[in-house]
Amino acid sequence: MHHRTQTPRRTDVGKLPPYKTHRHTLYGQQEGHCAGCKHHFPLRNLTVDHIVAKSKGGTDHIDNLQLLCGACNSMKGTISQAAFHAKLTKQGLR
């Protein structure tokens, strides 16, 4: 078994627009719900989050973005999506 120490980077996307420009698109895809706690919020209460943190090799590509409420975004920090969901489940928020 081989364990990878570096996350591969996408080379097929070219120059990406600033990630915050995807807020309205993500809001429509998620139908206004936080990707963490699943509560519905107005757009102004949701923040753009990187599913794989940029510090861990994530990109600004829309496939790596989601909207989270402020509480969920603070709770997620730079942990993995799986660890974040486990944390939400443990706290009864998912």
* Domain boundary assignment for the chain: 19-90
- What distance in Å separates the CA atoms of residue 1 and residue 79, rounded to the nearest whole number? 24
pLDDT given at position 18: 77
Cα–Cα distances in angstroms (integers) from residue 7 to residues 22, 24, 52, 66, 75, in the given order: 24, 28, 10, 20, 23
Q: Which CATH number fits domain 19-90: 3.30.565.10, 1.10.30.50, 3.40.50.300, 3.30.1280.10?
A: 1.10.30.50
Strand partners, 49: 66
pLDDT given at position 92: 87
pLDDT given at position 43: 94
Cα–Cα distances in angstroms (integers) from residue 85 to residues 4, 25, 43, 69, 75, in the given order: 23, 23, 22, 14, 10
pLDDT given at position 94: 77
User: Tens of pLDDT along 10-38?
Assistant: 565 567 777 788 899 999 999 999 999 99
User: Tens of pLDDT along 42-62?
Assistant: 999 999 999 999 888 888 899
Phi, psi of 41 (to 5 degrees): -140, 155
pLDDT tier at 3, thresholds 50, 70, 90: low
- What pTM was computed for the model? 0.78
pLDDT tier at 93, thresholds 50, 70, 90: confident
- What distance in Å separates the CA atoms of residue 47 and residue 75, rounded to the nearest whole number? 13
